[in-house]
Amino acid sequence: MMFWYDHDVSGWGLFAMSAGMILFWTLIITVAVLLFRTLNRSQEHTHAPATPSAEDILRERLARGEIDEDDYQRRLNALHAGPLTKP
């Protein structure tokens, strides 16, 4: 019977068990949060990026100085007129 009373948990043992439990739960919660973020992020990035419209491209070319305002207006009117068909 003396064996059971000889190995009690001292102050340092109690501290080590408490610190170990805190580290264990911190690790579990961190893994769960990272897993949740990873699964949530993969759904956000599955959408294909939007392609710019023809008007957006014309606007960008005008802003970069590749075309002047007259050329921009002429091309914009051609876009709004619809497809060119020969009679």
Q: How far apart are CA 19 and CA 50, in angstroms?
A: 50
Question: Can you give the pLDDT at residue 84?
Answer: 64
Residue 36 counted as domain residue: no
Residue 61 counted as domain residue: yes
The residue behind tokens 């170990």 is 20
Burial class from Cβ neighbours inside 10 Å (0-12, 13-18, 19+) for residue 72 reads: middle
Question: Can you give the pLDDT at residue 1?
Answer: 47
Which residues form the domain of 75? 54-82
Residue 68 counted as domain residue: yes
Residue 5 counted as domain residue: no
Count of structural domains within the chain = 1
Residue 22 counted as domain residue: no
The residue behind tokens 């739960």 is 25
Residue 2 counted as domain residue: no
Question: Can you give the pLDDT at residue 49?
Answer: 67
Angle value at C-alpha 52, between 46 and 56, nearest 5 degrees = 155
Residue 75 counted as domain residue: yes
DSSP H helices in 1-87: 2-6, 11-44, 54-64, 69-81
Return all residues near 68 (Cβ < 8 A) that are at least 6 apart: 62
pLDDT 10s digit of each residue in the chain, 87 long? 445 555 666 778 888 889 999 999 999 999 999 999 988 876 655 566 678 888 999 999 999 999 999 999 999 998 888 776 655
Residue 27 counted as domain residue: no
